[in-house]
Structure 1
Amino acid sequence: MSLPPTLSVPVAVLAESRPGVTVWQARVWRPLAVLEEAPPVPAWTRLREEAGREVFFAGAAEVTLHRTDTPNYKDNLEAAQPLIWVLLRPEPDGEGVMLQAVTVDPGEAEIFTEGPRDILESLPMPPGIQSLLAEFVREHHVERVFHKRKRDRQDPDSMGRRQPK
C-alpha cells in the first residue's frame, strides 16, 4: 500500500459537559474520546446524560498527516501510550464550545496550548489510527543525522577590549 505524502484521516470526537464547581463557570467542558468512525447523528447531539454529566458527539474532524512531520509522529508512537490531542474552543457567546482541531503531532499540540481559554486534552490514540500512523511513518520517515556546528574562534582583539593603562 502506497500512502500519499499528505494524508487526511477522518475521526469523530466525544465531549463531556458537567456542572461547574465555582460561581464563575456554569459548565465545564472536556474532550472525552476520539472514535475512528462517526455515529450517524448530527454534531452536538446529546448521547447520554446522568447525574448532571452529559456526553455529546462533538462532531467529525480530520487529522492531517504530513511527511515532513514524521519525526514527531515517530516520537508519539514510541511513547508508552501514543496520544491524540483534541482542541475545543469556547464559543463567542460563552455558552458552549466548538470542535477546533485534532492532531497526533505533539509539536502542534504544544502550539495549541497558547490559547488562554482553549481546552486541550490528550487522549489515547485509537488502534486503527495508531496502525495507519505507524504505516505512514514507515513509508515516509527519513532519519536525519544531527550535525553540531562548531563556532569559529573569535580574535580577542576584535571584540573591543581595551588595553589596561
Structure 2
Amino acid sequence: MVRNPHQYQSMPLGIVLRRSPGVTAWAKWSWRVADVLPGAAPASWKTIREAGDVRDYQVATVPLEMHGAECEAYRTGLADAVPSIYVVLRKNDDAEHPFDVLLATASPYEGQDYADNGEDVVEKVPMPAGLIAWVNDFTERFYEEETFVKRRRDKKRVDIVEDGIGDARISQISDVYRAPRRKEPAA
C-alpha cells in the first residue's frame, strides 16, 4: 500500500532530565527522564528546577515527528494504560552532562528498536494530556486500516520433475536419500 508522503507533523518537545543523588557508592548521581515539554523553546542543559540535591534540566529540545505510515504504532501506544513518549538517550564522556538526547517518539515499536541495540538508554515518559490529544488527532486523520489479503498457492505442478533430489550418479527406479554402497567383488 502506497501512503501519502504529506502525512507528516512535527512538534518541538523539551526533554527534562532529573539528577538526584546516587544510592550506591559507585554512582554519585542518578539520572532519569522526568518530563517532556510540548512546544518548548530550544535549550541546552538549562536548569528549570532545583530542590536540595535534586535538579531538573531541560537538556534539549528535539522534534517529535509523526508519520502517517506509523499510525498503527501510535495507536498501540495510545492504547496503553499510560500513553507514553519514548526518549532515547546516549551516554557520552562528559561527567557534567553525561547524556545526549537522540530522539523522542510516540511509537513503542521505534522505542523497542532502540532499546534492542544495547547502546542507548530508552526511557518511557507519560504523555501530558495535550500531547495525547495531539497524537490522537494525527492518528485519527491519517490511520488507514490495512485489508487482509489471503495468500493463494500458485498452480505450479510439483509432482512432474524432481530436480535436485537424490544422487544423479546412481541409477535406480525410485529416489532414496542414501549414500552409494560399494559393490562386493564376485568370488
Q: Report the TM range for the smaller structure's normalisation.
A: 0.7 to 0.9
2:143 aligns with 141
Find the aligned partners of 1:115 and 1:8 in 2 and give their Cα distance: 25
The runs of 4+ residues in structure 1 deviating greater than 6 Å are none
Aligned pairs (5 A) from 1:13-162: 13-38=15-40, 42-95=43-96, 96-150=98-152, 155=159, 157=162, 160=165, 162=175
If you compute each CA radius of gyration, which structure gives the higher value, 1 or 2? 2
The one-letter code of the counterpart of 2:120 is D
Cα 1:92–1:140 shift into 2, 3 Å: same
Call closer, same or farther: CA 1:154–1:20 in 2, change over 3 Å. Answer: farther
More strand as a share of residues: 1
Provide the rounded CA distance (Å) in 1 between the counterparts of 2:150 and 2:42: 53
Counting aligned pairs with the same residue, the percent is 27
The yes-or-no answer on 1:163 pairing with 2:176 is yes
1 CA distance for matches of 2:141 and 2:162?
Answer: 53
Q: TM-score, normalised by structure 2?
A: 0.72
Matched positions, count: 161
Q: Which has the higher contact order (CA 8 A, sep 6+)?
A: 1
What CA deviation, in whole Å up to 9, does each residue of 1:89-113 have, x standing for no partner?
Answer: 2223354212221100111111111
Q: Distance in 1 between matches of 2:83 and 2:65?
A: 16
Distance of 2:72 and 2:23 partners within structure 1: 41
For structure 1, list consecutive stretches of 5 or more residues without a partner in the other structure: none
AA of the residue aligned to 1:120 = V
**Unmatched tracts of structure 2, length 5 or more:** 1-5, 167-174, 179-187
Question: Would you say the 8 A contact 1:31–1:88 is kept in 2?
Answer: no
TM-score by length of 1: 0.80
With over 3 angstroms needed to count, the CA separation of the structure-2 counterparts of 1:149 and 1:7, relative to structure 1, is same
- In structure 2, relative to structure 1, the CA distance for the partners of 1:129 and 1:91 (3 Å cut) is same
Report if aligned partners of 2:49, 2:56 keep a CA contact under 8 Å in 1: yes
C-alpha distance in 2, partners of 1:27/1:148? 55
Distance 2:144 2:75 in 1: 11
